[in-house]
Amino acid sequence: MPPRPKIPRPTVKRLSLYLREIETRSELGHKTISSKQLGQALGLTDAQVRKDLACFGNFGHPGVGYQTTELIAELRNILGTDRQWNAALVGVGNIGRALMSYGRFRRKGFDIAAVFDSDPTIVDQDIAGHHVHSMKDLAGLVKERDIKIGVVAVPAAHAQQVADQLIAAGVLGILNFAPKRLDVHDKVSVVSVDFSVALEQLAFQVSLGLVGSLEEG
């Protein structure tokens, strides 16, 4: 995999938001979008949009804006989502089943290629269109199915152990739903999703009467 330039995290987050907005408009038949339209849709200034996109090249066309299909391809390339990513999901509980049932990941280039659980009453069952594998099959299936992303959806007390197993099997990125900071070596990326933290941020905003979107940061 070629090395990617270091991009500030808030910029990467905005790129994903740009991509989501442009994909929606493209599906509605829009052929072009201006930095102003993109900024307005996301509560950002057009200068911020132009600055972010200019980091990666000159995609705009004077007087026209950005061609939606061209910009979608460029953003997917920058974000590394112009290819298929196979993911392993560990933990077939509430969160795991919700993720397994959500059909749009595949359209975004992410395929839940294998799911695992340690509970013998679930192992070998077919749930939401996925066969649940035993943890003892994890190392073999991660290699066999070229899985590079692991999703941790197990209780916090087991999250580190599961992450270690995924990394030992060859996973390079972990999406962590457990409320636990994971220790990983520097070749592995971790993104944590925590609704409680997001809700706390929101409660803080609301309690202080602050308005605006937290997505900008």
Binding site for ligand NAI (CB under 6 A): 90-96, 116-119, 122, 135, 153-156, 158, 161-162, 177-179, 193-195
End-to-end CA distance of the chain: 28
Query: Length of the chain, please?
Result: 217
Q: Considering beta carbons, is residue 139 or 193 the nearer one to ligand NAI?
A: 193
The least CB distance from residue 145 to ligand NAI, in Å, is: 18
Q: Considering beta carbons, is residue 17 or 182 the nearer one to ligand NAI?
A: 182
Q: Considering beta carbons, is residue 92 or 142 the nearer one to ligand NAI?
A: 92
The least CB distance from residue 4 to ligand NAI, in Å, is: 26
Q: Considering beta carbons, is residue 30 or 136 the nearer one to ligand NAI?
A: 136
Closest to 90 (Cα-Cα) out of 112, 72, 68, 69? 112
> What is the Cα–Cα distance from 97 to 196, expressed in whole angstroms?
19
Closest to 164 (Cα-Cα) out of 153, 178, 174? 174
Q: Are 41 and 57 in contact (CB under 8 A)?
A: no
Tokens of 69: 């299909």
Q: Which helix (H) or strand (E) holds 100?
A: helix 94-101
Select the residue whose beta carbon is closest to ligand NAI and give its number: 93
The least CB distance from residue 153 to ligand NAI, in Å, is: 5
Q: Considering beta carbons, is residue 34 or 118 the nearer one to ligand NAI?
A: 118
Any idea which residue has 């072009």 for tokens? 32
The least CB distance from residue 165 to ligand NAI, in Å, is: 8
Q: Considering beta carbons, is residue 82 or 119 the nearer one to ligand NAI?
A: 119
The least CB distance from residue 66 to ligand NAI, in Å, is: 33
The least CB distance from residue 152 to ligand NAI, in Å, is: 8
Output phi, psi for 19, to 5 deg. -60, -45
Q: Are 18 and 10 in contact (CB under 8 A)?
A: no
